Chains A and B, each alone.
Chain A
C-alpha cells in the first residue's frame, strides 16, 4: 500500500472543507464568475457598440481628409499621375456597385495612415493584393458576391455592405480602366507645392465634410462608456476580493489544524495558491461564457437597428473578440491573485493559535479604521484638487479614480459613525441593540457594501451621463440637422444650377453660405443662413442676451458656438470683428462635434459683409420619403458624388435609434451590476451567519423569537442598502459631473450640459432595496429556522 504524500494529505484536508460546505464553494465560484461576467459583458457590449458606431459614422474615415473630385464623377488616371509627379501626395479611390455591395478600391501604398479600418499595408496581404487581388469585407457581404477569382478575407471592421480592395482590381471589375473616382489628399503636403489648379484645372479640391460631427460626438460617448467599463471592473474587483477573503476566513480552523499538526507553512501557502488559481480559471471561464450570453442578449437590439439601416447586411451575432475574453480572464486571475496575496500574507504572519476561531469581526481595531479614514480623506482631497486645478485628460481620469476609491474607503467609516449615532439616540432597547449589532456586522459586510456603493454610483453616474447626452444630442440634431437633405455643390455655377433645379422639387431650399475667417486668432467659419422658422424653432442657446434672436435677425449682433466662446474667452456682450466690422455677441450655442469656431449672422448681414460669396451648400426641407428619389436624380443629372449629398433625416433617425438602444443596453447593464453587488451582499451575509450565533444566542435566550431575529436581519440589509444609496447618490452625481464637465471638455473641447433625473434615482434606490431584501431573504429564513440546539451549543461549547 502506498502512503499518501504530505502534499496530497494537505490538499485533501483543504478540499474536504469545500466538500463539507458545498454552498461556500458555490458562492466563491459564482462570485468570481459574476465579477468576470460583469466585466466581460460590459467589454463586449462596448466593443461591439463601438464597432457598429464607427462603421456607421464613417465608412472609411475618409471624411477627415481633403479630396479632389471632378464634376463628371470621373478623374483621368493621367491627371492623378501628373499630380503625383508635381509633388502632390494624393491617393486614388475607385468606387462603384458590384453585385449588391459597394466596392471601394484603395491604393495601400499611397493611402494616408488611418484610412480605412483594415491595415492593408503589411506583409503577405500586400503581395496578394498586388498580384491577384483580395476582397476585405464582413462575412455577410462576402456572401452576397458572385464568383470571382479573388481571395476573400473576412474583416469585421469593414462597414456593412462595403468591400475593400485595391485600385487595380476595382478598376478591372467595375470596367473603369484608366479612370478614378476621386483622390484623397494626405494631410501633410510638401512645402513648395505647385498650385493645384495649375496641374489639373478641371478638378476641384474639397474640404473635409461636416458629417464627421456625429462621429466625434459618438467618440465622446465611447470615452464615457469606457469609463463605465472601468467602474464595472472596480465593482468586480471588490467582489472578488470579498469572495477570496471569505474563503480564507471560513477555512481558518482547517488551516490552523494543519499547521498545528506540523504541516509546513510554505507548502500550505503554495497549495492554497494553486487551488485558488485553478478555481479562478474555472470561474473565469464560466464568467466569460456568462458575459457572452449577457452581451449577446443585450446586443440583438443594437444589431437590429443597424440592419434596419443597411438592409440585411449586418451580422446580429457577437464577435468573440480575443481582447475582451482575454482581458476578462486576466481580471479573474489577477483579481484573485491580488486578493489572495493579502490573505496569504496575513496567513504567513498569523500566530498558530490565533487562527483557531473565525476572526471576531466584531469591533475591528480602531487604529485600522482611523488609518482607512485618513487614506479616504486624502484621496477625496486629491480628487477635489484635481477637479479644481488639474488640467488634461489624465487629471480627469485621476480625479475619477481618486474620487471612487476615496469614497469606497470612506463608506465603512461613515456608516460606522451613522450607526454609532443611531445607537446613542435609540429609545427602545431592541432598536439600540439593532443599531449596535448592525455596527458590529459592518466590518464583515463592508467589501460587499463598497461594491454596492460603486454599483449604485455607477448607475447614477452613467444614467445621468447617458440621459444628459441623449437629451443634448436629440436637441442638437433637431437644431443642426434640421433640414432633411443637404446638397454640396462643387462650384458656384453648379450651385446656381442646383438652386434652380431644386426649388420646384422641395418644400424649401435653404442656401447655407459660409466663409472661413479667423476670429481672435482662432480658425472659424462664418455662416449666413436664410432666416427661416427652421432655425428660430430649433436653435437653443446655452447663454444669451435678452431677445437674442430678434436682435440677431435685425442684424444687431451675432451668435457664436461654445468652442469659440471657450477658446477665445468671449462672453455675452463682448465684441468680435467680422470682415473688419465690430459685432456684439448675443448668443452662445452648443455645437457638439465641431472642431472649430463658428459664427452665425443673418443672411442679409452676410451678403453685406461678403458680397462676393455664393452659397455652395443647400439645406432642403422636404418629405424624407422623397430623399432617395432626389438622390438618384441629382446623381444622374448633375453627376454629384455620394459625398456631395447627405441624407440627414436618415442619419438622424439612425443615430437616435442607435442611441436609444444603447440607452437600453446601459440600463440593462446597470441592473446587472446591481444584481452582482446584491449577490456579494448575499455571500457576506451567509458567511457571517455562521459566525453570528454567539452574537444572537444571548438575545434569543433573553426573549426574542428566531422569527423576529430573522425579520430584523432583513430590515438591517435594507437599512444598510438605503444608507449606501444615500451615499451613492452624491458620488454618482460627482461622477457624472466629472465625465461631462471635465473628462469631456479635456478630450473634445465642449462641455455637455448635465441634467438631473430624480425619478431614475428613486427607482434605483428601490432596486437597491429589492436587491438587499433578496440578498437577506435566505439568510433570514435560515436564521428563523435555526434549531434551538444550535443556539444552545453557543453557551456550552468550547468555542
Chain B
C-alpha cells in the first residue's frame, strides 16, 4: 500500500473557538490508482491534500506514505519525503518565478537526484513545451504554466501525485487536454494520483471518487 490515512483530524481556531475541519478521515491508495476528491467549497479538500503531502501537520491521526508515518517526522525529514516521494500541483503559483521553464521542470528531479534527461525531453515534447524552455513563468499563459507544473512534477517520477484543482483556472477544452496528459503520464510512471476537483465531469474520468462533507468521507 502506498498511502494509508487513518483518523485524520484538523482543527482551526475560528472566532467562536476551535472548528473541526477534518473529523476523522481514513482512506488508502495503491500505486497506479487515481482518486477524485470532491466536496463543497470549504469542506476541507485542500486541507486534506496538504496533510497527505506533509505540507501541514494534523491535530490527530496519521498519514503513512510507503510505510513511513510522516506525521512523526521532523521538518527536515518531512521535506525529504516531499522531495523524493510526493509531487504536488496547485491551482496556481506552482512555478519558481526566478527560474526559466527548463530549470523549473528539472528542479524537483535534480533536488531528489533522479534527473533523467531522456524522460524530461520526452515529457516536454508531449506537453508541447519544447518551444518555451527559455521563457520565464510570467511570460506563459495559465494553461502553459499548468503544463509546466505537471511536467515538473512528473519529471521526478514521484510515487504519489497530489493535485489541487490543477485545471481550475483553465477553460474546458484546455482542462481536458491537460487532464488527459496527466492521466496518461501517471499511468506510465505507475504513480498514484489524488486530485481535488469541483467538476463532476472530470471526477468521472478518475478511477475512484471520494466526497467530503462536514469533515468526514460521505
Contact indicator B95/A362 (Cβ below 8 Å): no
Task: Known A789-B56, A792-B50, A796-B46; judge A430-B111 contact (CB<8 A).
Answer: yes
Contact indicator B76/A694 (Cβ below 8 Å): no
Measured as residues with beta carbon below 8 angstroms from the partner, the interface class of chain B is: 20 to 34
Smallest Cβ-Cβ distance to B162: which chain A residue: A701
Compute the total of residue contacts between A and B using a CB distance below 8 Å.
96
Q: Is B30 an interface residue when CB atoms closer than 8 A count as contact?
A: no
CA gap between A429 and B104 in the complex, in Å: 10
Contact indicator A429/B111 (Cβ below 8 Å): yes
Q: Is A189 an interface residue when CB atoms closer than 8 A count as contact?
A: no
Task: Known A698-B94, A707-B75, A795-B91; judge A788-B108 contact (CB<8 A).
Answer: no
Within 8 A of B (CB), among A417-447: 428-430, 432-433, 436-437, 439-440
Closest CB in chain A relative to B153 CB, distance in Å? 9
Task: Known A436-B103, A788-B57; judge A699-B136 contact (CB<8 A).
Answer: no
**Which of A362, A697, A799 lies in contact with B98, CB distance below 8 A?**
A362
B residues less than 8 Å from A432 (CB atoms) = 99, 103
Contact indicator A792/B96 (Cβ below 8 Å): no
Contact indicator B99/A795 (Cβ below 8 Å): no
A residues less than 8 Å from B46 (CB atoms) = 792, 796
Q: Is B106 an interface residue when CB atoms closer than 8 A count as contact?
A: yes
Contact indicator B164/A796 (Cβ below 8 Å): yes
**Which of B84, B111, B138 lies in contact with A360, CB distance below 8 A?**
B138
Interface string of B61-105 (1 = CB under 8 A from A): 000000000000001100110111000101111111111000100
Contact indicator A695/B55 (Cβ below 8 Å): no
Within 8 A of B (CB), among A660-706: 694-695, 697-706
A residues less than 8 Å from B83 (CB atoms) = 702-704
Smallest Cβ-Cβ distance to A430: which chain B residue: B111
Contact indicator A433/B107 (Cβ below 8 Å): yes
Task: Known A707-B75, A794-B93; judge A788-B55 contact (CB<8 A).
Answer: yes
Contact indicator A429/B106 (Cβ below 8 Å): yes
Q: Is A363 an interface residue when CB atoms closer than 8 A count as contact?
A: yes
Task: Known A433-B107, A436-B99, A707-B75; judge A702-B93 contact (CB<8 A).
Answer: no
Smallest Cβ-Cβ distance to B50: which chain A residue: A792
CA gap between A791 and B90 in the complex, in Å: 12
Contact indicator A795/B94 (Cβ below 8 Å): yes
Within 8 A of B (CB), among A763-799: 788-789, 791-792, 794-796, 799
Interface of chain A: mostly helix, strand, loop or mixed: helix
Task: Known A704-B79, A705-B76, A788-B57; judge A363-B138 contact (CB<8 A).
Answer: yes
A residues less than 8 Å from B56 (CB atoms) = 788-789, 792
CA gap between A708 and B74 in the complex, in Å: 13
Task: Known A360-B138, A436-B99; judge A698-B93 contact (CB<8 A).
Answer: yes
Task: Report A's interface with B, CB cutoff 8 A.
Answer: 360, 362-363, 428-430, 432-433, 436-437, 439-440, 694-695, 697-708, 788-789, 791-792, 794-796, 799
Query: Which 10 pairs show the lowest CB-CB distances between chains A and B?
Result: A703-B83, A795-B90, A429-B110, A440-B98, A436-B98, A705-B79, A703-B82, A437-B98, A702-B108, A788-B56
List 21 A-B residue pairs with CB atoms under 8 Å apart, sorted by A's residue number: A362-B98, A430-B111, A433-B98, A433-B99, A698-B96, A701-B53, A702-B82, A702-B88, A703-B82, A703-B84, A703-B112, A704-B83, A706-B75, A792-B46, A792-B50, A792-B55, A795-B90, A795-B91, A795-B93, A795-B164, A799-B93
Task: Report B's interface with A, CB cutoff 8 A.
Answer: 46, 50, 53, 55-57, 75-76, 79-80, 82-84, 88, 90-99, 103, 106-108, 110-112, 136, 138, 164
